[in-house]
C-alpha cells in the first residue's frame, strides 16, 4: 500500500473525503500517512489528528525556496509515493516537483481549461464562473507540473449552476457533487497504477526476474515465464531440492526444446543464480572455477531466435546484495545493487507490446524499481495476477529469512503433469 501525504491550507474537506474513502474501501491502494499544513490554525490539522495521521506545520512566512525546502524536509520522514494538494493555497515550483520524486495530484474547482491558472483559487473561481453566465461548472483532478493547473487531467465532473447560486452556495455544491467524488477515485487510480509490479501497459513482458528485499529485511526473488506458442505454454516449474527445473507437459516431436527447457534457479555455495536460459549453468560453472558472474555472461550472447533475438536476463544474489544483467543485440549490460528493505529490481525480456507479426522489442534501460511487501502470499498472488492469464505459464517466488538461512517459497503453474 502506497504512502500518501496531503498538503493543506484550510478546512480540509477534501482531506476528509480521502479519509472517508479509505474507510469505505474506495481508496485501497494507498493510505494517508501525513498531513502538511501551511497554516498552524487550519482545521484540517484537527481532522488529521482525529484519525491518528501525522501532522507537520510549515508556516508560509518565508521565501518560496525556503518554504518549499521545509516542506520537502517534512515529506522526507515518510517518503510518500503520492502527494495530494487538497486546498493547498500555494503554487509549487518545477524544482519542488522534481525533488519530491512523487506523483503530485491537485483538485481544482472548475472544469479545466476554464477558470484555472494563476489567480483562480477558492471563491475567486466561483465568482468568475457566476459572472460569466455559464450554466455548467464542476471540478477537475489533475497531475501537477510546472504550469499552474496545466498537468494531465485525471478526472472531471460537471455541476449544474442554479439561478439562486451565490459563490458560497456554488462552492459547497461543487465540493459535495464533484470534488469529494472524483478526488478519492482519481487518487486510487494513480496509486493502483504505481503499485503494479509489471508496468500496466505491458501484457507480454516475456520472462522476468525480480531480486531484492522485503519490507521486513528478507532477501527475496521471483521468476516468471510466459508463452505464446503451444510448446512454450506446455511448461511447468518443479522443485529439485533447493533448485528449480522446467518440465514439458507434452512434447512436440518437431519442436526444439533447447531454448525453453533449462534450470532457472541454481545455487553455488551462498549464491543464488536465476536466469531465463541455460546461462544458469554457465554462471554456475564459472563460479565453481573461481570466476565471476560477469566473466560467465561475457562468454554468452542473446538467444538465437531470429528475428526477435530475445535477450538473456540473469541475476545473482547473496547476503551482500544482488546483480542483474541483460545480454541483447545492443550490447551486454550489468547492474549491481545493495539491498534496500521493501524494494527490488525487475528486469524482463520485452519492452512493450507489439502486434503478433512484429518483432518483439528488447527490454530498455535500467531494471525497474519495484516494491516487495513482507507477505509472500500477497506479493506472489499480486505478481501472478499482473502477468495476465492469456500468456502466463509459470512463476516461482522465494523469500529468505533475514539471516539468509531458511526460506519459504511458492510455485504457480498454469498446467499440470
Q: Which residues are catalytic?
A: 108
E-assigned strands of 161-250? 208-213, 219-226, 235-240, 243-248
Residues 113 and 132: their CA atoms lie apart, in Å, by 14
Residue with cell 501525504: 5
Give me the phi and psi of 292, to 5 degrees please: -110, 165
C-alpha cell at 129: 464562473
The DSSP element (H or E) to which 376 belongs, if any, is: helix 376-387
Residue with cell 544458469: 280
Residues 57 and 60: their CA atoms lie apart, in Å, by 9
**Residue in 81, 93, 112 with CA at minimum distance from that of residue 190:** 81
**Would you say how long the chain is, in residues?**
417
**Residue in 185, 170, 94, 205 with CA at minimum distance from that of residue 140:** 185
The DSSP element (H or E) to which 182 belongs, if any, is: helix 180-195
Amino acid at each position: 500500500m502506497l504512502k500518501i501525504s496531503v498538503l493543506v491550507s484550510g478546512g480540509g474537506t477534501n482531506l476528509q473525503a480521502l479519509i472517508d474513502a479509505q474507510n469505505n474501501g474506495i481508496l485501497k491502494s494507498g493510505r494517508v500517512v501525513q498531513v502538511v499544513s501551511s497554516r498552524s490554525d487550519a482545521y484540517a490539522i484537527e481532522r488529521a489528528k482525529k484519525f491518528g495521521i501525522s501532522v507537520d506545520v510549515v508556516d508560509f512566512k518565508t521565501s518560496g525556496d525556503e518554504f518549499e525546502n521545509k516542506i520537502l524536509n517534512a515529506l522526507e520522514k515518510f517518503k510518500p509515493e503520492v502527494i495530494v494538494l487538497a486546498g493547498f493555497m500555494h503554487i509549487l515550483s518545477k524544482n519542488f516537483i522534481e525533488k519530491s520524486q512523487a506523483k503530485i495530484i491537485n483538485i481544482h474547482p472548475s472544469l479545466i481549461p476554464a477558470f484555472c491558472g494563476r489567480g483562480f483559487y477558492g471563491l475567486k473561481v466561483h465568482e468568475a464562473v457566476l459572472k460569466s453566465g455559464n450554466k455548467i461548472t464542476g471540478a477537475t483532478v489533475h497531475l501537477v507540473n510546472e504550469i499552474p493547473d496545466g498537468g494531465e487531467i485525471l478526472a472531471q465532473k460537471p455541476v449544474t449552476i442554479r439561478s439562486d447560486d451565490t459563490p458560497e452556495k456554488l462552492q459547497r455544491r461543487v465540493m459535495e457533487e464533484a470534488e469529494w467524488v472524483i478526488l478519492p477515485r482519481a487518487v486510487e487510480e494513480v496509486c493502483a497504477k504505481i503499485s503494479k509490479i509489471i508496468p500496466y501497459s505491458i501484457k507480454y513482458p516475456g520472462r522476468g526476474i525480480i531480486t531484492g528485499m522485503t519490507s521486513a529485511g528478507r532477501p527475496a526473488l521471483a521468476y516468471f515465464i510466459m508463452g505464446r506458442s503451444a510448446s512454450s505454454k506446455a511448461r511447468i516449474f518443479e522443485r529439485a531440492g533447493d533448485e528449480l527445473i522446467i518440465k514439458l507437459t507434452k512434447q512436440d516431436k518437431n519442436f526444439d526444446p533447447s531454448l525453453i527447457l533449462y534450470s532457472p534457479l541454481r545455487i553455488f555455495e551462498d549464491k543464488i543464480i536465476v536466469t531465463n536460459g541455460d546461462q544458469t549453468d554457465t554462471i554456475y560453472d564459472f563460479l565453481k572455477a573461481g570466476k565471476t558472474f560477469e566473466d560467465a555472461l561475457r562468454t554468452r550472447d542473446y538467444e538465437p531466435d531470429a528475428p526477435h533475438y530475445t535477450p538473456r536476463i540473469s541475476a545473482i544474489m547473496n547476503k551482500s546484495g544482488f546483480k542483474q544483467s541483460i545480454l541483447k543485440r545492443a550490447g551486454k549490460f550489468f547492474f549491481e545493487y545493495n539491498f534496500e528493505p521493501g524494494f527490488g529490481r525487475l528486469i524482463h525480456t520485452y519492452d512493450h507490446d507489439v502486434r503478433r507479426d512484429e518483432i518483439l522489442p528488447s527490454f530498455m534501460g535500467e531494471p525497474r524499481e519495484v516494491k516487495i511487501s513482507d507477505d509472500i502470499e500477497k506479493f506472489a498472488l499480486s505478481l501472478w495476477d499482473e502477468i495476465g492469464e492469456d500468456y502466463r505459464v509459470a512463476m516461482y517466488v522465494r523469500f529468505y529469512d533475514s539471516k539468509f538461512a531458511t526460506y519459504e517459497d511458492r510455485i504457480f503453474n498454469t498446467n499440470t503433469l
